[in-house]
Structures are given as structure tokens and as C-alpha cells.
A and B are shown apart, each in its own frame.
Chain A
């Protein structure tokens, strides 16, 4: 849990500047805390420790314990408190350490946050933002590594975001807070250390639409969050073979942007969904079904899926790598969709996963 101790300089000082996903997140929090008195951050270790992943480092010193509140190990309690605060007119940002732990608060999220507006006949909006990490790749073993955002994307009444780029990390929080509904932000653990240039001129990002991160003509690689860099790397590989892959970053897992996905598939006629969740009942399954429902007659190949192996995420590095979607697997799936030759190894593994025991 090493944190970068770089103090963020004045955000107004602009031109493209080097930053990390973690710093972009922190900057977004700082901006929210500065611009709206009703905003406060609550969660385990967010204060004195600086956030389990270092995102909120330094915020306690800047904003004080009233607004950067350490919470006990009781997800249901502090998420419930956040919901109450939202109902009372505050704009809470609640951090749950990982998605695995969020299940302890699932009752609050599903039965209260997501449903109150509906059950009160529109009288009780719950403008809460819940942040949590998701995903594997850092050897944290099963209880810290799963990708369950698809489960939340199942729930009507929630908006589910998955920022995958620095810009999204920096600018998704503001529209999330402005949304009158509960918003869940899933930050993939492997992204925090990603660094790059944050464009100076980007404002609040659109949290309604997916983004085409790389245009292409032969196959749509549809993904989000931590799998986006892998999909982009796969697209590079494919380009070397003359296959032009379009990479669609969903950004918002609920509601899904059918239009952008559909437009892409209508252009490329082939789709591969990359999702770190387990294949069975996954977000990838949902997207595949929608593509088939809405764009069947545009499809020139079955919709491919690259998902995690259906096992609890292993601790051992090699096993963890083997269980996760990787660039080779994405390339193989894309080649299969396009109909080109597929190197046997990766292909066989992927195929087996399709037909193999699914739970």
C-alpha cells in the first residue's frame, strides 16, 4: 500500500501534466470537498492512514475530521449512515475498501439506496457516491480480488461507473455527485499506479456514454476498467497482423450505452467482450445478449467473451495471471471472430473456458 506522497499542485495550473490515476482520484475528491460544503468522505482508513490505496492521503490534514471520517470495520453501518446523510441533504462519498467487502453493505445498497426513490414515490432521492476497488492482478488472493461490479450493474436504481483512464478518474466524481441517484464508482486496483498526461482542457466527463478509445473496422473489443489497457494492447497486436480492432470503453456499466456499443458492432460486425468478472451471469453475458438481441443481423461471427476463469482468484502469481483475461486471450478471441488463424495455445484455453464446467 505504498502511496505517492507527491503533493498535488494547484489544479488550476494547467497544460498537460504528468499524474497518476491515484492522484487524479485524489484531486477529484479535493475538488469536490472544496466546491461543495455538503460533501464528506467516509470509510475505513480514509483519514489518518490516507486511504487503503492512498487515494485520500493528505485530505484529513486539509479538510479535518468532520469531512474526512474514519469509519469502523462495519460496512453495513457506515454505508447505511452515508445513505441517511444523503437523505438528509448531504453529499456523502463512502469508500468501501474492496468490492468483496461491499457485500456486507449490500443490504443497504440494494434495499435502501437503490430502492428508496422508487418506494417513496419519488420523494426520497439518495444522492450518495460509493467508491470501491475491484479486480485482481496484485496478488491479494480471493477475498480482495474479485470483480463483482456486474452484480451491482444488475440493480436498477443505481448508476455504476468504472473509470479506466486518468481523465475519467479525475472528472467522473463531479457528475457522480451531481446525480440524484446513488452512484457506485469501481476503481480497478491495478490502475492506481498508472501514470500519464492528464489533458488540461477536459472538463466534467459524460457519465452517460461509452467511449470509443480506439477506432477500428474489423472487430469491437468491448471492455471497461482494468481490462481496458489489455484490450488496447491487444488492439496493437492485432494491428500488426492487419486486423483493425475498435476498443469500446463502457465507462458506465449501468445504464449501459447500447447506442455506442451497437454503432460499433454495426461498423465492425464482430464483437469480443472483455470482462474480469466470471463468465457465467457476467456483465459480458449481458452485453453479449444485448448485441445479439439488437444487432443479430449485423453479426458476422458469434460474440466472443474473454472473462476470468471460474475459480476464486488464486494468490500465486502465475495462477492469478492464468485466471485473468490477458492480452493473448483477447487477441485470440478477436482473431477467431475475424476468422484469421489463431495461435493454438491461447485459443485452446479460451475455447475450453467456453465449453467447460461453468460453476
Chain B
């Protein structure tokens, strides 16, 4: 049995909101299956399971904000849960029966297609199963989209943040000794929503005593600290309190924070009349129509997340900057040759070549590819290229292309297109958000020639590409008009010196002169 924990989906992530469960207890999962949607400050991300097994207990209800590393669910080894459930049912353990009944009642999980029929637990008593079925049958009425469903959170912010405080308790093999603790202790634990297996017993033989239960804090207290007025406003305006950062006493969310979120939202949705709308909201909060909230206030929190990260970067990292102009004649010729026979959709774009060159160069100059950690440089395990993607509504994401140096340009481009598209729809997966060892920002499509970037901590360098422009250029003693691109490097002077950076940019240049080898 292992715990599925809140993953860290980026260096700047301390906590996340479990948006939705895509599996339910009893579902079989394989390593890499998407099991949940987690909302970070930046995006709603589909999170994969790290190992195969059967989903046991869901520890965290949807809508809960928890720190990174918090156990979210229990994953049982193959076959285990059925047996356990049967044993529990046969023994007539009231607690086991109760929790089995309660789990589907409380959570709003949904099984991946196909997993349900083959994976229904075998020996549960009928009552919970029928209730569970009822829950599932309602599902099709709901939003079929898997990502964060704005309607849900808008409609039930109070429920999501307030009442679903305790995970349902459930027995597990480790709880056997706890069972010996007696019915009172089990009853108290159930009342408080405590999982006995998580408690430390101080009684004889490590038994859990009544005092242990009474002193134990519920594992989760996700109630958002907010003023009553802010709570009311948030409900009326359809803002999810859990996604707000409170500026009041003790981090309490105040009315101003809700208004800020609403402004951010309205500013985007109704560029024509945000001010008017706001006034209206204030005067008649009760008639304000709840609109979808997540993405809007995410924009606000994303700005703050970026602000925090970039401030940290500029504060902690002594940047040095290098720039070089690269002649793309060879690359351009090669691209034209390659693309000649292809339909437009399959044509290779210069950006793919630039990314590939940046990745291969990083492999050749590995001291730029990695992290600055604990006052030392830690080389990256591979060249995992973060690609800065600007979102239409503002803000940035940097999804990762793993092993970019090993991918052929075509594959690189396919992945790039997919990532950019999904980043903009807010549908990235956890593994696609983490592990970048070097980030590339390409502002060429914005028309600028040079970009001097800010390093994404804890990485040690950032590569920038500007627009490909035609300029007079001297080569081989001749003046000609050639396509040029300005490549820049912002690097951490603690990790490397200018000479290393220069070697890197030179490598990029050299690689782009032989595109056929990329």
C-alpha cells in the first residue's frame, strides 16, 4: 500500500487544490494513468499515478487546498482491496461498512472509462454499491469536461471549502492493532474523521487510546479563513474562496480580495465594461450571476506566482547576459528543402530547429543544464527543455519537453504544438510541468529581435530567441541579405562564467549551420 501524494508541479509550488478525482475507490490504475486534476496557482493540471494498483481510500475531497506532499489517496497493491473489503464485510465491522458506504456518498469521483465494470469490488454488501451507482448515474448530467469544472465550484464554493472537512475513515491492514483499541476509540475516530492508521498510539503495545484520538488534529482543516462578508460576496459573485490569497489578519480572505478576483475576472471577460459591472456587483451582489471562476482568479494568482518566482530569481540569481547573432541561411535552405514535399500542416517551422539546437548545445555544455541547489550546481538528468508559453489571457507557463536533445525535429515540433495548445487550454499534466533543466523563451513571433530573459529558479540559464529577420550580413567576404536570429543567454553567474555561456551560444550557432545533423 502506498500513498498518492500531492505532487510538486514546479519549483514555485507549495500547495495545490485538488480539483477533481478522476478515479474512485476500487478503480484499478496503471502507472501513468491520470487520476486527478490539481489546480496550482498557474494551471489546472492532470496528475498521473506513479504506480499501478487499486485505488483505496480517497483522503482528500475535491476542492481542498493542501500542501505538497500531503497524502491524497491510498493506492493498494494488486488484489489487496477486494480481499480486505471482503474480510471487513464478513467480520461485519461496522466501521468498514460505514466507510465503504460513505466514500462514494461524499466524493465526486469518476472512474476512467472502462475501468468501472471490471473493477467493481467483489464482495461489498449491496447497499453501498447501489448508492455508489446512483452517484455515478447522475454523472452524465454534469459537465463532461475533465478539467476543473467551473460550474461546480461556482455553485458549491461553500461546500467545497467548508463542509467537506474530513476524509472518510477507513481500515487498512495496519489498522489491525488499532482495532484492538476498542469500539470507543474507533467511534471517536470516526466522529472526528480520523484515520486510525495515521495516529500514533501511546497506549500499551502502541495501542491507540482515547487520549490519542482526542489530541489528534483532523488531518485536514481546509476551511478557508475568510470574513463573513467576504464569504457572502464570494458566494454571490461566484468566486472560489479557496483559490484566493487573503490579505487580512492571519491571512483571512477579505472582501477586497474577492473584489480583486472579480475585477481580474471581469477585466478579462468584459473588456468593454468592467467598471460598470463592478459597480453593479457592489450594489446588487445578490443578482450578480455566478460565472465560471477558476480560470479567472487563476489568472490573478498566476500573476502573483510569477511575481514571486521572478522576484526570487532577480533577487537571488546574479544574472549575466550574452547575445549573438546567428545566420540562419543554412537552416532556412534546409527547411525549405524538407518542407517542399509536405502538406502545410506537417511543415517544420524554424522554432523546432532552434529548440533542437538549444537542447543539443545544452547537452554539449552540461554546466548550463541543471539546477543551483544548496549552494552548488546539480547537473540535470537529461536535457529537459522548458518552453515558455505565453497565455492569451496573460501569464506564462513553461511546459517541459523531456529529453529534447534526443528527439528528431519533427517529433519535437509535434510535441511542442501539442504542449502549447494544451497549455493554453489549461490541460497540462503534472509530468509536463516539472523537471525542466533549461528554459527557452522564443519571442520571435512577437516581432522582437532580442529577448533577455529571467532565469526560472532553480535552473541556471535561460535561452532566448528573437524574430528571424532579414538583414545585410557579411559572410565569406561578401555582403548579402540573410535571415538572422539573435540568440541570447541569461545565465547564473554562480554556476557558470561568461566563457561557458559563450561556448554554449557558439554551439547553438554551429549546430544551426548544419541543420541536417540535428
A residues engaging B (CB < 8 A)? 269, 296-302, 336, 339
- The residues of A that contact B255 with a CB separation of less than 8 Å are 269, 300
CA distance A336 to B247 in the complex (A): 12
Are the CB atoms of A301 and B249 closer together than 8 Å? Answer: yes
Are the CB atoms of B232 and A297 closer together than 8 Å? Answer: yes
- The residues of B that contact A300 with a CB separation of less than 8 Å are 227-230, 248, 254-256
Residue B231, interface by CB 8 Å: yes
Given contacts A336-B249, A339-B248, A339-B249, contact A298 B254 (CB under 8 A): no
Are the CB atoms of B228 and A297 closer together than 8 Å? Answer: yes
In the complex, which residue of chain A has the Cβ closest to the Cβ of B252?
Answer: A301
Q: What are the 7 tightest A-B residue pairs by CB atom distance, in nearest-first order?
A: A300-B229, A300-B255, A297-B232, A300-B227, A296-B228, A297-B228, A269-B229
Within 8 A of A (CB), among B309-343: none
- The residues of B that contact A336 with a CB separation of less than 8 Å are 249
- The residues of A that contact B229 with a CB separation of less than 8 Å are 269, 297-300
In the complex, which residue of chain A has the Cβ closest to the Cβ of B230?
Answer: A300
CA distance A174 to B19 in the complex (A): 66
CA distance A269 to B285 in the complex (A): 14
Are the CB atoms of A299 and B228 closer together than 8 Å? Answer: yes
Are the CB atoms of B231 and A301 closer together than 8 Å? Answer: no
- Distance (whole angstroms) from the CB of B513 to the closest CB of chain A: 59
In the complex, which residue of chain A has the Cβ closest to the Cβ of B235?
Answer: A297
- Distance (whole angstroms) from the CB of B492 to the closest CB of chain A: 35
Are the CB atoms of A298 and B228 closer together than 8 Å? Answer: yes
Q: How many residues of B contact A (CB 8 A)?
A: 12
CA distance A297 to B232 in the complex (A): 6
CA distance A298 to B233 in the complex (A): 9
CA distance A299 to B255 in the complex (A): 9
CA distance A299 to B227 in the complex (A): 7
CA distance A210 to B379 in the complex (A): 72
- With a 10 A CB-CB cut-off, give which of A298, A300, A339 has the most chain B CB atoms: A300
- The residues of A that contact B247 with a CB separation of less than 8 Å are 339
A/B interface sample: 15 pairs, CB < 8 A: A269-B229, A297-B228, A297-B229, A298-B229, A298-B232, A299-B228, A300-B228, A300-B230, A300-B248, A300-B254, A301-B249, A301-B254, A302-B249, A336-B249, A339-B248
- The residues of A that contact B249 with a CB separation of less than 8 Å are 301-302, 336, 339
- What is the predominant secondary structure among interface residues of chain A facing chain B? loop
Interface membership of chain B positions 275-305, coded 1 if the CB is closer than 8 angstroms to chain A and 0 otherwise: 0000000000000000000000000000000
- Distance (whole angstroms) from the CB of B244 to the closest CB of chain A: 13
CA distance A298 to B232 in the complex (A): 8
- Distance (whole angstroms) from the CB of A271 to the closest CB of chain B: 11
- Distance (whole angstroms) from the CB of B269 to the closest CB of chain A: 25
- Distance (whole angstroms) from the CB of B402 to the closest CB of chain A: 45
* Count of CB-CB pairs between chains A and B under 8 Å: 32
| Cross-interface CB contact of B254 among A296, A297, A339, cutoff 8 Å | A339
CA distance A283 to B247 in the complex (A): 31
- The residues of B that contact A301 with a CB separation of less than 8 Å are 227, 248-249, 254
- What is the predominant secondary structure among interface residues of chain B facing chain A? helix
- Distance (whole angstroms) from the CB of B477 to the closest CB of chain A: 67
- The residues of B that contact A299 with a CB separation of less than 8 Å are 227-229
CA distance A241 to B254 in the complex (A): 20
CA distance A300 to B253 in the complex (A): 9
CA distance A221 to B421 in the complex (A): 54
Within 8 A of A (CB), among B246-279: 247-249, 254-256
- The residues of B that contact A339 with a CB separation of less than 8 Å are 247-249, 254, 256
CA distance A175 to B231 in the complex (A): 43
- The residues of B that contact A296 with a CB separation of less than 8 Å are 228
- The residues of A that contact B231 with a CB separation of less than 8 Å are 297
CA distance A339 to B227 in the complex (A): 12
Give 12 A-B pairs besides A269-B229, A298-B228 with Cβ atoms closer than 8 angstroms.
A297-B231, A297-B232, A298-B232, A299-B227, A299-B229, A300-B227, A300-B229, A301-B248, A301-B254, A336-B249, A339-B247, A339-B249
- Distance (whole angstroms) from the CB of B246 to the closest CB of chain A: 10
CA distance A297 to B227 in the complex (A): 8
- Distance (whole angstroms) from the CB of B251 to the closest CB of chain A: 12
CA distance A53 to B509 in the complex (A): 95
- Distance (whole angstroms) from the CB of A109 to the closest CB of chain B: 38
Interface membership of chain B positions 107-126, coded 1 if the CB is closer than 8 angstroms to chain A and 0 otherwise: 00000000000000000000
Within 8 A of A (CB), among B37-80: none
In the complex, which residue of chain A has the Cβ closest to the Cβ of B254?
Answer: A300
CA distance A296 to B231 in the complex (A): 11
- Distance (whole angstroms) from the CB of A324 to the closest CB of chain B: 25
CA distance A336 to B254 in the complex (A): 12
- Distance (whole angstroms) from the CB of A208 to the closest CB of chain B: 28
- Distance (whole angstroms) from the CB of A57 to the closest CB of chain B: 51
- The residues of B that contact A298 with a CB separation of less than 8 Å are 228-229, 232
- The residues of A that contact B230 with a CB separation of less than 8 Å are 300
CA distance A269 to B228 in the complex (A): 10
- The residues of A that contact B227 with a CB separation of less than 8 Å are 299-301
CA distance A339 to B231 in the complex (A): 17
In the complex, which residue of chain B has the Cβ closest to the Cβ of A266?
Answer: B229
CA distance A299 to B226 in the complex (A): 10
CA distance A297 to B230 in the complex (A): 8
- Distance (whole angstroms) from the CB of B162 to the closest CB of chain A: 14
CA distance A302 to B254 in the complex (A): 11
In the complex, which residue of chain B has the Cβ closest to the Cβ of A336?
Answer: B249
Within 8 A of A (CB), among B205-242: 227-232
CA distance A157 to B41 in the complex (A): 59
- Distance (whole angstroms) from the CB of A68 to the closest CB of chain B: 53
- With a 10 A CB-CB cut-off, give which of A299, A336, A339 has the most chain B CB atoms: A339
CA distance A329 to B149 in the complex (A): 47
- Distance (whole angstroms) from the CB of B250 to the closest CB of chain A: 11
- Distance (whole angstroms) from the CB of A152 to the closest CB of chain B: 32
CA distance A297 to B226 in the complex (A): 11
- The residues of B that contact A269 with a CB separation of less than 8 Å are 229, 255
In the complex, which residue of chain A has the Cβ closest to the Cβ of B256?
Answer: A339
- The residues of B that contact A302 with a CB separation of less than 8 Å are 249
- Distance (whole angstroms) from the CB of B276 to the closest CB of chain A: 19
CA distance A300 to B255 in the complex (A): 6
- The residues of A that contact B232 with a CB separation of less than 8 Å are 297-298
CA distance A148 to B159 in the complex (A): 46
CA distance A297 to B254 in the complex (A): 12
CA distance A137 to B513 in the complex (A): 88
CA distance A269 to B247 in the complex (A): 16
- Distance (whole angstroms) from the CB of A310 to the closest CB of chain B: 23
CA distance A300 to B254 in the complex (A): 6
- Distance (whole angstroms) from the CB of A213 to the closest CB of chain B: 24
In the complex, which residue of chain A has the Cβ closest to the Cβ of B255?
Answer: A300
CA distance A269 to B248 in the complex (A): 14
- Distance (whole angstroms) from the CB of A228 to the closest CB of chain B: 26
- The residues of A that contact B256 with a CB separation of less than 8 Å are 300, 339
- With a 10 A CB-CB cut-off, give which of B227, B230, B247 has the most chain A CB atoms: B227
CA distance A298 to B256 in the complex (A): 13
- Distance (whole angstroms) from the CB of A23 to the closest CB of chain B: 44
CA distance A311 to B248 in the complex (A): 32
- The residues of B that contact A297 with a CB separation of less than 8 Å are 228-229, 231-232
CA distance A299 to B248 in the complex (A): 13
In the complex, which residue of chain A has the Cβ closest to the Cβ of B226?
Answer: A300
- Distance (whole angstroms) from the CB of B387 to the closest CB of chain A: 40
CA distance A269 to B232 in the complex (A): 12
- Distance (whole angstroms) from the CB of B257 to the closest CB of chain A: 10
CA distance A281 to B454 in the complex (A): 58
- Distance (whole angstroms) from the CB of B235 to the closest CB of chain A: 10
CA distance A296 to B256 in the complex (A): 17
- Distance (whole angstroms) from the CB of B228 to the closest CB of chain A: 5
- Distance (whole angstroms) from the CB of A25 to the closest CB of chain B: 41
CA distance A300 to B230 in the complex (A): 6
